């Protein structure tokens, strides 16, 4: 006779039973709209700066202003930018730029999820930060510090609500645009005179200046006013390619020009 084996029932431990029950309950939940779920994930969370970041940001701008003024006064009095005092003050001013702009970038993005370098290159703060690195290893110049000094003054004036300085904001923005163009001229002269690494700096600054033309209305308007003065001369050119290129340049520089006039000139 064949042995009769008793029937066995599959039993699961309590934890497995609870898990199975939870899964069955989860399966009975109504399915949410996938588009709504994606929409919630795409909402960008604002990253607040920590108190330490805020303190370092203020310290960086204050260092840039203090050391920049020391370099400026020493340069105007002694007409020298190669002495130890001017050398140290110039580099410390740029170190303040490194500190303040790095804090700004970290505050704009999550510290554990910084964007790609291509995305960062599209931001003004990162562009100026890279340019400060170039100036740190390049020949000292007051014109290279002026934009950072003006930005630091405006940032601290906004932070501490100094209305007397904030009223000068339009004029200071135009001053920065003029200074950026002047730096381009200075680098060109230094390159022709073969001073240090000015040739490399000119190449990098040309890329930076092109980004400023694309993004900055102030820079475009400055070049636009210069183009108006040269328009009569360029119109006399007989080369059709030169005339066509000149018209394309004027068309590009007049982009959003009405907005600039409304904001800064009215």
The pLDDT, as a whole number, for residue 255 is 61
Residue 44 has pLDDT above 60, yes or no: no
Residue for token digits 């920590």? Answer: 50
Of the candidates 146, 154, 139, 147, the residue with the CA atom closest to the CA atom of residue 91: 139
The pLDDT, as a whole number, for residue 55 is 94
Residue 160 has pLDDT above 60, yes or no: yes
The pLDDT, as a whole number, for residue 17 is 42
For residue 113 the two structure tokens come to: 């999820």
Residue 108 has pLDDT above 70, yes or no: yes
pLDDT-derived band at 49 (thresholds 50, 70, 90) equals low
The pLDDT, as a whole number, for residue 143 is 92
The pLDDT, as a whole number, for residue 35 is 43
Average pLDDT score over residue span 53-80: 91
Quote the CA–CA distance of 124 and 179 in Å, as a whole number.
Answer: 17
User: How confident is the prediction for the chain on average, in pLDDT?
Assistant: 77
Q: Where are the alpha helices (DSSP H) in the chain?
A: 14-27, 34-42, 51-78, 84-108, 117-121, 124-136, 142-159, 163-166, 169-192, 198-215, 217-235, 240-253, 257-260
In the chain, the percentage of residues whose pLDDT exceeds 70 is 73
pLDDT-derived band at 136 (thresholds 50, 70, 90) equals very high
- The number of beta carbons lying within 10 Å of the beta carbon of residue 189 is 11
Q: Is 113 exposed, middle or buried (0-12, 13-18, 19+ CB in 10 A)?
A: exposed
The pLDDT, as a whole number, for residue 259 is 54
pLDDT-derived band at 26 (thresholds 50, 70, 90) equals very low
Q: Under DSSP, is residue 193 helix (H, G, I), strand (E, B) or coil?
A: coil
Lowest mean pLDDT among 15-19, 145-149, 196-200: 15-19
| 81 vs 31, higher pLDDT | 81
The pLDDT, as a whole number, for residue 222 is 77
Residue 183 has pLDDT above 60, yes or no: yes
pLDDT-derived band at 261 (thresholds 50, 70, 90) equals low
Q: Which residue ranges make up each domain of the chain?
A: 51-215, 216-266
Average pLDDT score over residue span 47-74: 88
Average pLDDT score over residue span 7-35: 43
Average pLDDT score over residue span 168-187: 89
Specify which of 35-49, 158-172, 173-187 reaches the highest per-range mean pLDDT: 158-172
Return the HEC string of 35-76. HHHHHHHHCCCCCCCCHHHHHHHHHHHHHHHHHHHHHHHHHH
pLDDT-derived band at 15 (thresholds 50, 70, 90) equals very low
Q: pLDDT tens-digit profile of 74-103?
A: 888 887 666 888 899 999 999 999 999 999
Would you give the distance in Å from CA 167 to the centre of its chain? Answer: 23
Residue 12 has pLDDT above 70, yes or no: no
């Amino acid at each position: 006779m064949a042995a009769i084996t008793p029937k066995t029932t599959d039993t699961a431990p309590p934890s497995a039973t609870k898990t199975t029950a939870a899964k069955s309950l989860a399966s009975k939940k109504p399915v949410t709209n996938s588009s709504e779920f994606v929409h919630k994930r795409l909402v960008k969370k604002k990253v607040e700066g920590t108190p330490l970041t805020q303190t370092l940001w203020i310290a960086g701008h204050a260092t840039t202003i203090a050391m920049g003024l020391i370099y400026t006064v020493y340069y105007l009095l002694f007409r020298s930018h190669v002495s130890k005092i001017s050398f140290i003050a110039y580099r410390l001013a740029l170190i303040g730029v490194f500190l303040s702009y790095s804090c700004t970038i970290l505050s704009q993005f999550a510290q554990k999820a910084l964007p790609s370098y291509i995305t960062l290159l599209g931001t003004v703060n990162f562009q100026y930060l890279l340019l400060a690195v170039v100036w740190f290893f390049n020949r000292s110049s007051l014109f290279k510090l002026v934009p950072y000094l003006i930005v630091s003054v405006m940032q601290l004036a906004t932070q501490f609500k100094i209305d007397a300085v904030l009223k000068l904001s339009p004029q200071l923005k135009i001053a920065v645009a003029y200074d950026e163009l002047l730096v381009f001229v200075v680098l060109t002269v230094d390159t022709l005179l073969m001073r240090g690494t000015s040739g490399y700096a000119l190449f990098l600054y040309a890329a930076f200046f092109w980004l400023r033309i694309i993004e900055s209305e102030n820079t475009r308007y400055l070049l636009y006013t210069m183009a108006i003065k040269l328009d009569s001369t360029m119109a006399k050119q007989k080369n059709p390619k030169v005339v066509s290129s000149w018209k394309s340049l004027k068309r590009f520089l007049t982009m959003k020009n009405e907005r600039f006039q409304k904001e800064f000139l009215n």
